[in-house]
Amino acid sequence: MFENLKNASEIFSKMGEMRGKMEEIKKRISNLRVMGDAGAGMVQVTSTGDGAIVDVKINRTLFDSEDNKMLEDLVMAATNDAIQKAKQAAEYELKSITGGLDLSEISKLFGGNLG
């Protein structure tokens, strides 16, 4: 019984250490920049690691086209690509801090969402 209490104490101690590391990783993730593209680079969208779109570049030739649907589809595809890459980059950063431990399920027990 006391062994279980000791293990629980160690777990909570490590969780306190992880909280500081999580703040660091959140900053690193928000500073990450990833680029999604579509149409062989005709549309490029840049996102932060936490999914905020910070830049959109559209090749000028697409404005000369009368096919607005194609432009809309390319912007959507590039945005989705950037968001997917942002998720992957954030997961990589999170795993680098936690040593591969998936904290998403554990954090939900405490009302948070770390992963």
| Domains: count for the chain | 1
pTM of the predicted protein model: 0.72
26 inside domain: no
110 inside domain: no
Report the half-sphere exposure of 109 (CA within 13 A, side-chain side).
5
Determine how β-strand 53-58 pairs with β-strand 33-38. unpaired
82 inside domain: yes
67 inside domain: yes
pLDDT digits (tens, 9 = 90+) for 84-110: 999 999 988 888 776 766 655 555 555
Q: Is 45 within 8 Å of 75 (Cβ atoms)?
A: yes
Determine how β-strand 43-48 pairs with β-strand 53-58. antiparallel
User: What domain range includes position 72?
Assistant: 49-100
pLDDT at 93: 84
Q: What is the residue whose two structure tokens read 């900053």?
A: 27
